[in-house]
């Protein structure tokens, strides 16, 4: 487990999280839920966006960072409950559920759990909270990502990117000649302002295949899409003039089986 490094530029970090809000709420027309919990809500921008669209639903935010919870409190209406402790969140859900269906949102959370927390404990907590739906959107590649890189693409990166930062990167994650490392680099190279934190997070800690294997039997896949994030593909091309072909992101909705 790694030490949680401070975010050097929180405003830029949160600005990055605000991008692609439509993509991040892909699940809204695919689940029949009335209570939504944003696990790792940061400054609350996703909750605010959803509340503006469907104010009739109940929204709850949870985040380990007290600083983020304080920012979310400033951004959100008082009707949206925010929690810093999982036990309090669980108790609140039991009190308000009243037969309504619930949806847990895991948006860009899983890779941080694997970097800073205990993944086994995390999944155990998630699957025992008894949500009707679990919506996942995160960076995730397939097992096929482990192969040699395209040498022309690697050459372009060496030619254009900062030499010192690239040396630092390869010392942690291995040579860009390995496609997994190259793909991982393309996911993080833009965050130079928060380099000390972002470059040390494993953005690809679990493959799509492994994630599907850990789903317990009382849930089943309700929706799945494995794709290349268009914004990232465009950024890579604009910076390095190469095409990013790897599927970098996963959308996955799990639905609890009917008893």
Sketch the domain layout of the chain as residue ranges.
Answer: 10-140+204-228+249-256
- How many Cα atoms occupy the beta-carbon half-sphere of 134 within 13 Å? 24
End-to-end CA distance of the chain: 37
H or E stretch at 97: none
- Residue 92 near residue 86, CB atoms below 8 Å: no
H or E stretch at 143: none
CA 198 – CA 68 distance, rounded (Å):
17
CA 117 – CA 114 distance, rounded (Å):
6
Write the CB contacts of 168 (distance below 8 Å, at least 6 apart in sequence).
Answer: 195, 199
- The structure tokens listed for 163 are 């030499």
| 10-140+204-228+249-256 topology per CATH | Rossmann fold (3.40.50)
Handedness of CA 15, 121, 254, 63 (dihedral sign): negative
- If pLDDT is split at 50, 70 and 90, which confidence band does 259 have? low
Pick 117 or 61 by higher pLDDT. Answer: 61
Report the predicted TM-score, pTM, of the whole model to 2 decimal places.
Answer: 0.89
Q: Residue 238: its pLDDT value, please?
A: 97
- The structure tokens listed for 254 are 């799990």
What is the rounded average pLDDT of the residues 182-196?
A: 93
Q: Is pLDDT of 18 > 70?
A: no
- The model's pLDDT over 29-49, given as tens digits with 9 standing for 90+, comes to 999 999 999 999 999 999 999
What is the rounded average pLDDT of the residues 181-206?
A: 92
H or E stretch at 75: helix 66-75
């Amino acid at each position: 487990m790694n030490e949680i490094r401070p975010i050097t530029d929180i405003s830029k970090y949160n600005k990055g999280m605000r991008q692609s809000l439509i993509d991040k709420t892909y699940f809204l027309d695919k689940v029949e839920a009335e209570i939504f919990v944003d696990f790792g809500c940061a400054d609350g921008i996703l909750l605010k966006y959803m509340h503006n669209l469907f104010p009739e639903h109940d929204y709850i935010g949870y985040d380990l960072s007290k600083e983020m919870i304080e920012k979310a409190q400033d951004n959100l209406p008082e009707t949206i409950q925010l929690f810093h402790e999982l036990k309090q969140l669980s108790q609140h859900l039991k009190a308000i559920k009243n037969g309504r269906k619930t949806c847990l949102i895991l948006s860009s959370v899983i890779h941080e759990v694997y970097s800073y927390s205990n993944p086994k404990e995390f999944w155990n907590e998630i699957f025992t909270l008894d949500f009707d739906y679990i919506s996942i959107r995160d960076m995730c590649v397939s097992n096929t990502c482990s192969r040699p890189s395209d040498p022309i693409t690697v050459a372009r990166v060496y030619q254009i990117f900062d030499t010192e930062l690239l040396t630092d990167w390869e010392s942690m994650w291995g040579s860009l000649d390995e496609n997994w490392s190259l793909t991982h680099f393309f996911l993080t190279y833009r965050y130079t302002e928060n380099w000390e934190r972002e470059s040390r997070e494993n953005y690809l800690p679990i493959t799509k295949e492994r994630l599907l294997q850990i789903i317990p039997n009382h849930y089943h896949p309700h929706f799945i899409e494995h794709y290349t994030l268009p914004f990232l593909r465009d950024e890579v091309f604009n910076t390095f003039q190469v095409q990013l072909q790897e599927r970098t992101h996963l959308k996955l909705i799990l639905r609890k089986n009917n008893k």
